Structure 1
Amino acid sequence: MKNVFNIKAAMLLTMCGLVSCTLVHKDQQSAAPDTAEAPVDGGLEKYEAYTQQFSSPTVITQNHATGHVGDFFFTHWKDGGSTSLSLDTDGEFSVDWEGGGYNYVGGPGWHFGDEDRVIGYRFDEDSGASYITLYGWGYDETMPTSDPAHLVEYYILQRWTYDPSQDGVYGKTFTSNGVEYSTYRSVREQKPSINGPSTFYQYWSKPTEERPLGEDHEIIFADHLKAWADTGWIIPDMNNFNASDDPTYQVMAVEVFNPANDGTASGQVWDATPQ
């Protein structure tokens, strides 16, 4: 049974830039980042302005950060507001947010999407995040940017307070690991992405019912790829370092946008792929 790591981080300045804002260690909040270790994958050196390696529990507060805590990649992105991401080396994490008019998404996982990966996770707290979701990107720079399929942002929802299906085109309904999902596709026009402002697709898999707190769950990623492909939707390269801002990561994410109140979501992620 997975234990939940739940650090209540002190909030720092909300609109600080990458140069002036600090990544904070749980046990030494004034310390400089632990950057002694090199990135896990050499391709990540392209993102060295954001990507760092941590070997101990860490609290992230800046506006845009990626990196590794232990063997887990993380992303932390916001366009304002005050939100912190607390991470441990075993995949335990928590997100703490303050109410306000902004968007945040972040969590731990991997710096690429693997079609054979089975994602294990558990959440014990959720104060009403917009989404708790397996979240990631695919990108193919050889496709024309006029085709939204060249860049795909995907969500496999597990819990939500906002229903994305109201803005999407229905694809199909299928069952994976005993859970019934329906798929939807929407388009984002000139919005922030891992490759700067772009026009791209969003693919959604939404279960019939939210997944309960306090239990271990598994997401079989291949089932969702097949369901999207069955509808003619394409996932471009999910292991790509050629985007301008971030690699094509896959994380168990907490997203909040325009949160009315302060809140917390905490849990753990792990690789449950059969060996």
Structure 2
Amino acid sequence: MKNYFLKTTLLLGLCGLLSCAEEQKVADKNEEAVKNPATSSIEKFKAYTQKFSEAAVITQNHATGHIGDFFFTHWKDGGSASLSLNTDGAFSVSWEGGGYNYVGGPGWHFGDKDRVIGYRFNEDSGASYITLYGWGYDKNMSAADPAHLVEYYILQRWTYDPSKDGTYGKTFISDGVEYSTYRSIREEKPSINGPSTFYQYWSKPSEQRPLGEDHKIIFADHVKAWADTGWIIPDMNNFNASDDPTYQVMAVEVFNPANDGTASGRVWDAAPR
């Protein structure tokens, strides 16, 4: 009888330990989902279909996913363009001439106003833009207000000048580079939340950033400069839009390219550690 009670006590204790272990696993999983929503909510987007642990080439019309620790976006409304990616943030975009729009590159599935972006481009055969590119979105604001959805660009290289149609904001210095800001509006155009009316914010350097050198974008400086003229970015870290998260990537954009071309570089998180 004594041995029976001893075995029962041990068995109950073991079951208790197993129960605690299972509960801890659930708690850990819930905590991870809070810390890294990319493990859960991001799968809601139809275009988010791929997670790569090694080099990949993307050719679909609309695809997002992760390559190692980097998020990527790849979008085109026609034509032929491909995005080659590696897990260290290296990437290249190749395009054929034609009448279409393409934008894509690696970065993060959310924008962070305190992020410092490092990048280097060694090749650019005529992209419309090489730019830090992202979105902010507030589902609680009226869709009739263009400020509820913002598409932003921090230009580094370009063959098309977006400022010619924009409203000037201010000129400022960031990391030794002089930028000027502009704002424009898009009416019922493609966005991360379907066809919408939204603002575009632009920061344009006084001189294009050279190839073959490491560069840094201090995003907080641009957020402040836009805000100084009343141009506020809505929430940059949510999954509330219909088509994509509010990502922030180092992107290559081409529209109606006259010729075939390639742009290649690498992006990384350059925030002080």
What interval of TM-score do these two structures reach, taking the shorter chain for normalisation?
Answer: 0.7 to 0.9
Query: Secondary structure of 1:225's partner?
Result: helix
Residue matched to 2:177: 179
Give, in angstroms, the shift of residue 254 of structure 1.
0.1
Structure 1 unaligned regions, length at least 5: 1-37
Runs of 4+ in 1 over 6 A off after TM superposition: none
SS at match of 1:224: helix
Bigger share in helix = 2
Question: Which amino acid letter does the alignment assign opposite residue 119 of structure 2?
Answer: Y
Alpha-carbon displacement from aligned partner over 1:43-91 (angstroms, at most 9, x marks no partner): 2021154332110100000000000000000000000000000000000
Q: State how far apart, in whole Å, the 2-side matches of 1:174 and 1:191 are.
A: 30
Counterpart residue type for residue 214 of structure 1: G
Aligned to 1:127: 125
Where do 5+ consecutive residues of structure 2 fail to align? Answer: 1-35
Distance 1:49 1:246 in 2: 8
Instruction: Give the Cα separation in 1 of the matches to 2:132 and 2:186.
Output: 19
How far does the alpha carbon of each residue in 1:198-249 deviate from its partner, in whole angstroms, 9 at most, with x for none? 0000000000000000000000000000000000011000001010000000
Matched-pair contact (CA < 8 Å) for 2:47–2:244? no
Match of residue 231 from structure 1: 229
Q: How does 1:107-256 map to 2 (within 5 A)?
A: 107-256=105-254
3-state SS of paired residue (1:137)? strand
Closer/same/farther in 2, CA of residues 39 and 89 from structure 1, 3 Å limit:
farther
Q: Is the 8 A contact 1:141 1:242 kept in 2?
A: yes
Aligned to 2:264: 266
Preserved CA contact (<8 Å) 2:132 2:249:
yes
Whether the 8 Å CA contact 1:196–1:244 is kept in 2: the answer is yes
Letter in 2 for 1:89: T
Q: Distance in 2 between matches of 1:158 and 1:169?
A: 19
Q: 1-side partners of 2:56 and 2:89: how far apart? A: 12
Question: Is the 2:46–2:243 contact (alpha carbons within 8 Å) kept by the matching residues of 1?
Answer: no
Instruction: Please list the CA deviations of residues 176-210 of structure 1 after superposition, one character each: whole Å capped at 9, or x if unmatched.
Output: 00000000000000000000000000000000000
Matches of 1:177 and 1:51, distance apart in 2? 37
Task: Provide the alpha-carbon RMSD of the alignment.
Answer: 1.2
For the 8 Å contact 1:51–1:68, the answer to whether it is kept is no
Give the SS at the match of 1:183: strand
The match for 2:30 is: none
Distance verdict in 2 for CA 1:59–1:171, change over 3 Å: same
Q: Which structure: larger Rg?
A: 2
Letter in 1 for 2:234: P
Task: Find 1:81's aligned residue among 54, 79, 92.
Answer: 79
Secondary structure in 1 matching 2:236: coil
Shift of 1:40: 4.0
The number of residue pairs the alignment matches comes to 238
Check whether the contact 1:39–1:45 (CA below 8 A) recurs between aligned residues.
Answer: no
Task: Give the SS at the match of 1:217.
Answer: strand
Residue aligned with 1:261, SS: coil
Once the 2 structures are TM-superposed, how far is the Cα of residue 42 of structure 1 from its aligned partner? 1.4
Contact 1:168/1:185 (8 A) holds in 2:
yes
TM-score (norm 1): 0.85
Structure 1 residue matching 2:246: 3-state secondary structure = coil
CA distance in 1, matches of 2:140, 2:96: 40
Kindly provide the CA deviation profile for residues 28-49 of structure 1, in whole angstroms up to 9, marking residues without a partner as x. Answer: xxxxxxxxxx984312021154
SS in 2 for 1:68: strand
